[in-house]
Structure 1
């Protein structure tokens, strides 16, 4: 008679410290055409039920038609606050559901820019619900780090992966992603299933801010048009708590003793290599203000080198870009250049998303700390 397997659960408290603004996006976004407005260093989210009441009570039928026609005309810059002032409605009368700090160019007040919202609790991801960091995002980041460290010590697996790509007549980024997923599952499938990371605690609005961000080409030309938008972020300098559990499948399984500490050692190794690679890429570029970016990246490397098995730095919220960068980091230069030239030359791999804040442009960086419970 087979005895049932005994499972042991190893619980850890996960502390996440934001080293820069961090945003985990969702499908929800707002426009400046009646959903939010800026005043100096504040972003105000408009109560939609309340604004409908204001429109109904204070505007004539012609005013309402003008408002709707302007809002629906996406090609026209629309100064929401000026429109209402001209109709005799003060800013104080506009109903606000919530307000967050704004870090960016205050002259954006009359520009049509999207505001991308951070993922929220609740099925509808309503802007009034609380932000959090999904456990799936944290686990995906850790999974990629574990795969990278394994492949780095098993070059024969990298060679096999590279041979398959070299045999393709044309490199397709979707096929590349699919092959990488197959490789990941073959390496870390079992261990990943034994690792469970819960969604973090809800994050208070006092820890949130709206940042102006931009997509910055590594190789800027005069023909490049500026592309920027706003993002709701967890602001830098805050601590958010979550939980990590490792499921030991049987009492004879000794690997679990080092498994969790090795996660953070692996994260530090992956991130240090990634930062070295990133610094080389940016040093070759003509990105505006690249010296500020380089100084921040080098500071992150110093931080990673000072960490131990219970602390690590990591980049959260840029899954696809970091997946491709991880692939490139493992491959030989010839194949790396072929991928860059054929697949990713117009893709996000040749740009970086940065905050418009001059002194602190990086976003997405966190420090993880683990404590055994």
Structure 2
């Protein structure tokens, strides 16, 4: 029996309001998948690497395939059809282990480029790692502590400002670590072992992986689409040549959380309800900043975002930068972040000119997901407590 005075344990159901992409670190090139299209459907078929190599050996195609790959000129579907070794559908059944519908922003576009894969279990079921959930919660707790105790963090701002102006990456990393130590390193039972993990209040929160409810294991391939707010140019939407495998909107997952109240109280958390209120406040702050810039053009998307409790995964863009907005004095956050982006995060070659082009928000982009006529702010999810039977 759990000691409810010391521990709190709850189960939650997470519903994807919009598509969510949690990358597994794998980036597929055009020669690593088969892209098919007809009038009604565009689809990606993912190669089973073992079956694919067996297939190439059996048909004596390894040398030709390798030559095409190294030349950088290969359409895998067209190349397979040109070999005249059977129907494409039969080959797909033999060498592929999964597939996903593709949604292109530009009507009539013929190509898909690199695809960032979604994390999945060994049997191919998409899930949301507990580390992803806990990472988003951790950022929300940090944000909350800065907002509640600004005097504790005020001494960090001038050194951060100086590091941003100097473009000093190492100093920025060191200062970020010091800010996190200020927020989380509060347990003193290991005085002779100065280990941030051992002394962190985050030890008091456990989050399980969020596992899929139901049998719909399908994913979708969505093209990256950014809307930029550029000084004197207004809003400019543009698709990019990057594709993500995503969990579709509407999918449901279940996970659990356990809170050690004795540890959590060191940062002012008394219950899991506190945790979720802080997460919602953090999301609301970021969405409000974005809505002030993009809300007029994307009213429906921001209206739907009111249902969200958390934003997760790759491509969520602005939210992680709101910690700096919380830290900075009024009116200093955006210009300093612009300088930070131009001088620290990006080289001159990849500079996005935040200092000259941003006038209302840094970073100046809203990350959207498109699928046919549907459009969402990427990565939003609703979380509800599951009442025990």
Could you say which TM-score interval applies, normalised by the shorter chain?
0.7 to 0.9
Q: Secondary structure at the match of 2:222?
A: strand
Q: Secondary structure at the match of 1:20?
A: coil
Q: Residue 221 of structure 2 aligns with which residue?
A: 211
Q: Residue 265 of structure 1 aligns with which residue?
A: 277
After superposition, the Cα gap between the structure-2 partners of 1:254 and 1:321, relative to the gap in structure 1 and judged at 3 Å, is closer
State the distance in 2 between where 1:56 and 1:181 align. Answer: 51
Q: Residue 246 of structure 2 aligns with which residue?
A: 233
Q: Residue 344 of structure 1 aligns with which residue?
A: 341
Instruction: Give the TM-score normalised by the residue count of structure 1.
Output: 0.77
Which shows bigger deviation, 352-361 or 88-97? Answer: 352-361
Q: Residue 248 of structure 1 aligns with which residue?
A: 261
Q: Is 1:213–1:354's contact at 8 Å kept on the other side of the alignment? A: no
Q: Structure 2 stretches of 5 or more lacking a match?
A: 186-199, 343-350, 353-361
Q: Residue 149 of structure 1 aligns with which residue?
A: 144
Q: How many pairs were matched up?
A: 339
Q: Residue 286 of structure 1 aligns with which residue?
A: none
Q: Residue 12 of structure 2 aligns with which residue?
A: 14
Q: Residue 320 of structure 2 aligns with which residue?
A: 323
Superposition deviation, residue 203 in structure 1: 7.0
Superposition deviation, residue 314 in structure 1: 0.9
After superposition, the Cα gap between the structure-2 partners of 1:322 and 1:11, relative to the gap in structure 1 and judged at 3 Å, is same
State the distance in 2 between where 1:179 and 1:51 align. Answer: 48
State the distance in 2 between where 1:16 and 1:193 align. Answer: 23
Counterpart among 361, 378, 386 of residue 363 in structure 1: 378
Superposition deviation, residue 146 in structure 1: 1.8
After superposition, the Cα gap between the structure-2 partners of 1:291 and 1:6, relative to the gap in structure 1 and judged at 3 Å, is closer
After superposition, the Cα gap between the structure-2 partners of 1:26 and 1:48, relative to the gap in structure 1 and judged at 3 Å, is closer
Q: Residue 310 of structure 1 aligns with which residue?
A: none
> Is 1:113 aligned to residue 127 of structure 2?
no
State the distance in 1 between where 2:62 and 2:387 align. Answer: 60
After superposition, the Cα gap between the structure-2 partners of 1:36 and 1:218, relative to the gap in structure 1 and judged at 3 Å, is same
- 1:229-286 per-residue CA deviation (whole Å, 9 max, x = no partner) reads 2222111101100110012339xx7999842111111122111111110112436xxx
Instruction: Give the TM-score normalised by the residue count of structure 2.
Output: 0.75
Q: Residue 125 of structure 1 aligns with which residue?
A: none
Q: Secondary structure at the match of 2:55?
A: helix
State the distance in 1 between where 2:63 and 2:267 align. Answer: 68
Q: Secondary structure at the match of 2:243?
A: strand
State the distance in 2 between where 1:45 and 1:360 align. Answer: 25
- 1:58-109 per-residue CA deviation (whole Å, 9 max, x = no partner) reads 45xxx654432222223x3x32222222222321221221222333368555
State the distance in 2 between where 1:240 and 1:337 align. Answer: 36
Q: Structure 1 stretches of 5 or more lacking a match?
A: 123-127, 284-289, 305-312
> Is 1:282 aligned to residue 294 of structure 2?
yes
